[in-house]
């Protein structure tokens, strides 16, 4: 919708539109008398599925009630080209062209007048409260019927202040709102560092702070509700450390393998938390157009919209060169490191090499790009892992190559520092340098042809900004496999970083971040960031 407001209401404002709108408010929204409440209860059902709930809306052009949640009112609007509908619970006007609730001065005036009449008929009291130090006016209305909210109206004093201060207030670069420590509840640093990363994920922050979660859980055990409350706590302006005891309880409840006071793996906690959040927020979407979700999980929940990518696996027969392709969803990418028992071979020709685990390795430090090159290079499966080729109709040797079919909004890279095998349990401390900005174009399935004979070849695609990422969080592990501690670096503004060590938060330099060992690296798509 444009800053000037919705232009589509003009088509509705003809003939007796004011009287018609008043009737709808009187009979089906505010329902001031017992008779109108009975009429509303009997008549306000979806004309397509017969449901009473599911955010029922009424068409403003004809007599039609439809579910907003199940898109029945959307279907009616599309078929009849009736662009406006009214929410029968809150009284808001929705425009299907703008795809948003709209404000119109004339309509708002009618809504307020009819609401006041209904309250007067019910003999109810309107309670107002203005919590401090918030800049927002909260209005709590006690009517006993449904959920009623009034719109905010500035006082004379506020109007005067607005006239003298017309510019929008911006968050300054030295603002610390959103920074808050977390109390360690007994070896819970693995949870605290992941919470810090999630609460500073730009799109996830915007989702929760705009109150988009619609809980569908029957009991008080929704992890998404707790995360929503956590975001409110983080961005409330309070400076004292937060005690995440309820979050820990819910994690223990829904991820039993993480229960107890033993030290857990931060990566394992991240995946478990995303899984539970995904299951608990199935009703939450960041698009209301009814389209199929554009991610490999085909789920519109906020977790899949942000974190889910598609990993393409191409298996090529060595005889007929036929290719079998599968695409699997992923929340993170686990990368092998030099120093592990997994062979780590050279990724580009030339250069002095050193030997690591019997394999040649380039001199100098390993980079995140090196790890990604290795992850996406062809791998010969060998004679012990033959596949049945659809072209040859027999078992043949093959090669397998992984590439990115679809990139997530947030790319999380897991550097596999903990090695567990029958003979070996240890931590790999190999230093891996990682950049502040990362271009994933070379590792896309569309760039596969740039890799010839197993060797990497740089592609030039400076215009493809969709694949460019910015680092915003780093989780580190200090210590050994048996005894260690997790901390995290988080980005507060474009170039300001802070170290989060449970309850203690200190300013950090970019050098501190880039010199850290790195265990989990979080990158956000650049063109979707809001600074």
- Residue tagged 């092998």 (tokens): 336
- Angle, CA of 32, 129 and 153, to the nearest 5°: 70
CB 119 within 8 A of CB 89: no
Kind and range of the H or E element at 141? Answer: strand 138-141
State the DSSP H helix or E strand holding residue 404, giving kind and residue range, or none if neither: strand 398-406
- Residue recorded with tokens 């299907």: 96
**For residue 485, what are its two tokens?**
């501690």
Rounded CA gap, 369 and 375, in Å? 10
* Cis amide linkage into residue 133, ω under 30° from 0: yes
For the question of residue 189 being annotated catalytic, the response is yes
Helix (H) or strand (E) holding 194: helix 189-199
Q: Which two tokens stand for residue 332?
A: 């993170």
**Strand 309-317 and strand 398-406: pairing?**
antiparallel
8 Å CB contact between 58 and 20:
no
Collapsing DSSP states into helix, strand and coil, what is residue 58?
strand
In the chain, the N- to C-terminal Cα span, in Å, equals: 22
Q: Which of 6, 46, 95, 189 is catalytic?
A: 189
Annotated catalytic residues are: 189, 485
């Amino acid at each position: 919708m444009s800053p000037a407001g919705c232009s589509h209401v003009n088509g509705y404002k003809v003939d007796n539109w004011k009287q018609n709108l008043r009737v709808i408010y009187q009979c089906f929204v505010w329902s001031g008398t017992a008779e109108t409440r009975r009429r509303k209860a009997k008549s306000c059902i979806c004309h397509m599925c017969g449901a009473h709930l599911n955010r029922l809306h009424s068409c403003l052009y004809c007599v039609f009630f439809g579910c907003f949640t199940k898109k029945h009112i959307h279907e009616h609007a599309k078929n009849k080209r009736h662009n406006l509908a009214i929410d029968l619970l809150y009284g808001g006007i929705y425009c299907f062209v703008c795809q948003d609730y709209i404000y119109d001065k004339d309509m708002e005036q009618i809504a307020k007048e009819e609401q006041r009449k209904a309250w007067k008929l019910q003999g109810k009291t309107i309670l107002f409260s203005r919590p401090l130090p918030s800049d927002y006016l909260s209005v709590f209305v006690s009517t006993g019927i449904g959920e009623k909210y009034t719109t905010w109206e500035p006082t004379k004093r506020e109007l005067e202040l607005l006239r003298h201060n017309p510019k929008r207030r911006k968050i300054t670069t030295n603002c610390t709102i959103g920074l808050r420590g977390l109390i360690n509840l007994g070896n819970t640093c693995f949870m605290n560092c992941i919470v810090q990363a999630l609460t500073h994920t730009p799109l996830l922050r915007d989702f929760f702070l705009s109150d988009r979660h619609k809980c569908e859980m029957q009991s008080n055990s929704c992890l998404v509700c707790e995360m929503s409350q956590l975001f409110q706590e983080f961005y409330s302006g309070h400076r004292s450390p937060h005690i995440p005891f309820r979050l820990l309880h819910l994690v223990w409840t829904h991820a039993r393998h993480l229960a107890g006071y033993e030290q857990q793996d931060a990566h394992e906690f991240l995946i478990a938390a995303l899984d539970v959040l995904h299951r608990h927020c199935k009703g939450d979407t960041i698009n209301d157009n009814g389209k199929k979700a554009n991610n490999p999980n085909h789920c519109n929940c906020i977790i899949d919209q942000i974190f889910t990518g598609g990993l393409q696996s191409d298996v090529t027969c060595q005889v007929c060169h036929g290719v079998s392709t599968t695409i699997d969803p992923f929340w993170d990418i686990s990368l092998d490191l030099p120093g592990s028992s997994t062979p780590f071979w050279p990724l580009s020709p030339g250069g002095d090499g050193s030997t690591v685990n019997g394999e040649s390795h380039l001199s100098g430090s390993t980079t995140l790009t090196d790890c990604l090159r290795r992850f996406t290079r062809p791998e010969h499966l060998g004679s012990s892992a033959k596949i049945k080729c659809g072209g040859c109709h027999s078992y043949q040797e093959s090669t397998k190559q992984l590439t990115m079919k679809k990139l997530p909004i947030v790319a999380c890279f897991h550097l596999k520092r903990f090695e567990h095998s029958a003979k070996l349990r240890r931590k790999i401390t190999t230093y891996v340098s990682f950049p502040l900005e990362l271009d994933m174009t070379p590792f896309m399935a569309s760039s596969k042809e740039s890799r010839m004979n197993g060797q990497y070849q740089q592609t030039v695609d400076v215009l493809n900004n969709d694949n460019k990422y910015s680092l915003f969080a780093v989780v580190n592990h200090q210590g050994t496999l048996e005894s260690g501690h997790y901390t995290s670096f988080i980005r507060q503004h474009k170039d300001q970083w802070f170290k989060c060590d449970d309850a203690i938060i200190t300013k950090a330099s970019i050098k501190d971040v880039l010199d850290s060992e790195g265990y989990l690296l979080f990158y956000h798509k650049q063109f979707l960031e809001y600074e």
